[in-house]
Structure 1
Amino acid sequence: MKLFKDFQSYNNYIGLDNPLDNDIDVGYYTPSKMLLKSEAVMVDFYRISIKINFKSKITPTEKPINAVFFNSPDLVLTTGWDVEPNYTGIYLQLSRKIIEENRFLFKTYLDYGQHEALHLTEEEIEEISLVFNLMIKYYQNDIKHYTVLLSYVNVLVSLVEAFYKRQFSTDPKQYNHIISNFQQSLIDYYNQPVSQIPNVQYFADKLGLTANYLGDIVKHFTQKSTIETIHEFVIKKAKKLLEQNPQMKTAEVAYELGFEYPNYFSKFFKKQVNLTPKEYRLQFLEINNKTPS
C-alpha cells in the first residue's frame, strides 16, 4: 500500500500538476497523462473529486457516471483503482490543517469516504463547474487570497450538501437497509451482557460505514440524530427494567444498561425523562396501583 502525506507526492504519483500550496490544491483531471491503474492507496488529507463520464473497470457492468467522490485521511482504497481514460473532471485537495482551522466552513460530507458517491444531474454539474471556475481563478492568480478561495470552497461544499439531500430523497429504498440494520444492531447490542453504553462509532464500525455517513442517513430519514436514537432506546430499556422489576435497585439497572457509574445513569435518566429513576418508578407504580412486593 502506498501512503501519501502531502499533495506533491500524490500528484506526482497520479500524474497531476504540481500544487501551488501545501494546504489547498485545485486542478483539472487529464486522464491521458494520468495513472489509470494503481495499487492500494491511502492519503493523509481530504480530496473532493468531480468526475464526468467516469467508468471503473473494477465494476465493468456499470454505466459511466457523473459523480462527486470523497477521500478522507486514514481511508484506505484497498483495491486502488482501474479506470477507463475517457472521463473529465476537477479536484480539490485540502490538508488536515486547513480543515481544522476552518471547520465551521465544512460539512460532514468530507468524511463520507468511499461509502457514498454523489451522483450529479446535468444542472448540478453546471452549478458546480461555475463555482469551481471561480475557485481556480483565485487559486491560480494569487494563492494568498485565502479568504475568497475558502469562501468558494464553502459554496462548493454547501452545494454538495444540498445535492446529497436530493439524492437521499430521490431513492429512499437505497438507504432503508441502513436504517433497519442500525436499528437491529441496537436491539442485538442489548440482547447480550454489556459493559458500556454504545456510541455512534460502534454502530458505524458494525455496519462498515463512517460515523458521519451513518449519522446523516439516520437524521435524514428519521429526523433524529444517531445519538438521540441510541439514547431513546436506552431510556426505553431503562423504563422497562424499572417498571417490571420493582425490587431492582437503580444501581443494578444502571449496570444492566452498561453504565459504569450509577450516578451518571441517574443524571442521564433525569435529563431525558425529567424524573429520577426512583421518581419514575414511584409514579409508574402509583398510576398502575401497584406496590412493591
Structure 2
Amino acid sequence: MPEKLPVYRIPDFTAPKPLSRGIHVADLQAHRQTHAFVQAPHKHDFYLLLWVRSGQGTHTIDFTHYAVTPGSVFFLTPGQVHAWDLIPETEGTLLFFSPEFYRGGQEKDTLRQFPFFRTWQHPPVLYASAQELAPVEQLLQQMQHEYAQSASFQTEALRAYLELLLIQLARLYPAAPVQLEENSWPFQLYQLENLVEQHYLEHQSVKFYADALHLSPKYLNELCKENLGKTTTDLLKERLLLEAKRLLTHSPHLNIAQVAQVLGFEDNSYFSRFFKKHTGNTPEQFRQKG
C-alpha cells in the first residue's frame, strides 16, 4: 500500500540480540529519549502494552484521544496508528511482543481471548488504581530484570511472565468475563477479525468471509449482530472507512483519486459519496479538518 506512515518492527528499537525479533521491555522515559521519532503518528507490526506509573498527556489511537494518567494501561494491536503527547516527567514501562513470540510455536493464536485486544468490542485502555495495578507493576519489573540478563530458559521465562501479565490485566479490565474461556466469545469472531484485517481491501463480500470460516453468510451475520451489535457488512465498511481516514490524514502525497484507488474504488465520485454518507464529510473536508 503506497503510504508514508512508518511501520516499525521490534528490531527497530533493540540492539541486535536473539530476543530482538520477538519481545522488548523498556523504560518509557529512556525509550522516548532514545527514539524521539515515536512522538509522530506511526504503526507497529507487533502488540504493544504501555503502563503509566506517573505523568499525564494524551494518547491518540486511530483518531480517538485518550487521557494519559497515573494508572493507565494502553493496549495496541498490530497495524493501529497511534501517537502520544506526554509531559517529560511521565514514567512507565513499554512492552512489545510479536504474536509468534506469544504462541511459542503453537499454531493457534489465542491473544484475542483477552478483552483489550478485541478492537471491535472494547477500548484499548484500562484505568486502575495503584493498589490494583501493584501485581502488574511487579510482573513488569520481573520482566525487565529477566530481559536485561542472559540466562538459560530466558525466552520461556519471559513468555510465562507475559501470559501471567495479560491474565492479570484481563481480570482488571472492566469488560472482562468472569472466566477467561475461549467460549466466552465465539472463536469464529477472532478468526473473522484477522481475516478482515488481511483481506478487507480485496473482499467486501460477506460470502468470502463466511466461506473462509465454513459458515453460512446468515449465521456469520447473526454471530456479529449478537456479539457486536453490528452486521458483517457494517464491520467491513468500518474497516474500509478507518483505512480511508488513515490515508487521508497520514498520506498527504496521495490525492483523493489515489486514495480511492488504493481502497479499491474504481470511481472516485463513488468513494466520495460513500465516505460522506458514513462520516458526514467529503474526503476533502475530512483532510482539511485533520
Question: Scaled by the length of structure 1, what TM-score is found?
Answer: 0.49
Choose between structure 1 and 2 for higher RCO, CA contacts under 8 A separated by at least 6 residues.
2
Task: Give 1 or 2 for the bigger CA radius of gyration.
Answer: 1
Quick check: which one's helix share is greater? 1
Question: Scaled by the length of structure 2, what TM-score is found?
Answer: 0.50
